[in-house]
Amino acid sequence: MNGTRRFKLVEHLSTREFDQAIDTTQKMDETCLVRRLCFVKSLYNGRTQQQAREAVGVSQPTSSRWARAWSDGGIEGLRPRFGGGRPPRLTPVQWDEFCELLEDGQPWTPQEIRTLIEDRYGVAYHPTHLAQDRADELNVEFVFILPYSPTLNAIEPLWKDLKREISPEIFADKNHFREFLTEIFLHLSRRLISIVTGSRHSSRIFRC
C-alpha cells in the first residue's frame, strides 16, 4: 500500500470510547492489544498506514492485517489469539536461570533474547513481556503514551532544540560531532531541568 494513502477503516468506536478502551486494556495488562489499538488510533487520527505502523514498529503486512482485523471485528478482531488466554510465562526457577544467562552473556539483542527463550524453554516471548514481568517485580506501573503525543513526552522539546542547534553546523569528523552533541545536549538538559524544577543549580546533576 502506498505510504501516503489514508487507510479507510470502519470506526466501531467514537474517539472517547477508543481512549477508554486503550485505558482499560492497559489496566488489564494486555500489552499486545494496546499496541494494536494505538496503531488503529493513529489511523483514526488521519495518519497514513505507513505513519501508523512506524509509530508502533510493525511491518506493512502486519499493519494491513491489523487494519482488516479491526474493520472486520473491532476490538475482539484485534485481540491476539493465544489459544485460551495470555501466552505461557517462565516459571520462577526458569526466570532466575534466564537472568543469570543474560548477565553472563551480555550484551544481547532483542532477537537473541527471544531466540534464547524459545530454544531453551519452548516459550514464545516478546521482549515487552520481559519488561512487564520485571516491572511487576519492582512494583512499577507503565503509563503508555499515545502515538503522536509530543506534549506528553518531556524529551520531545529537547530533541527539537537539539536539531535546531545541530542543523547549521559543519563537522570535521565524528569526534567533532560527538563533542558538539554532548555539549549541546548537556546544556539543553540543564535548561530543561531548571524549567521543570525551578532550580538554578541543575548543573550539579551532571557532575561526575
Residue range 18-32, pLDDT digits in tens = 888 888 888 887 777
> Where would I find the H helices in the chain?
15-27, 31-44, 49-56, 60-78, 92-104, 110-121, 127-137, 155-166, 174-197
- Same-domain status, 20 and 55: yes
Is residue 194 domain-resident? yes
**Domain range holding 43?**
15-78
83 falls within a domain: no
Are residues 20 and 73 both part of a single domain? yes
Contacts of 140 (CB under 8 A, 6+ apart): none
Peptide bond before residue 107 is cis, with ω within 30 degrees of 0 = yes
Query: What are the cell numbers at 160?
Result: 527539537
DSSP state of 138: T
- Residues 68 and 21 reside in one and the same domain: yes
The structural domain count of the chain equals 3
Per residue in 113-167, pLDDT (tens digit) is 777 777 777 776 666 666 776 777 777 777 777 776 767 777 777 788 888 888 8
Q: Are residues 73 and 24 in the same domain?
A: yes
Same domain for 166 and 202, yes or no, is: yes
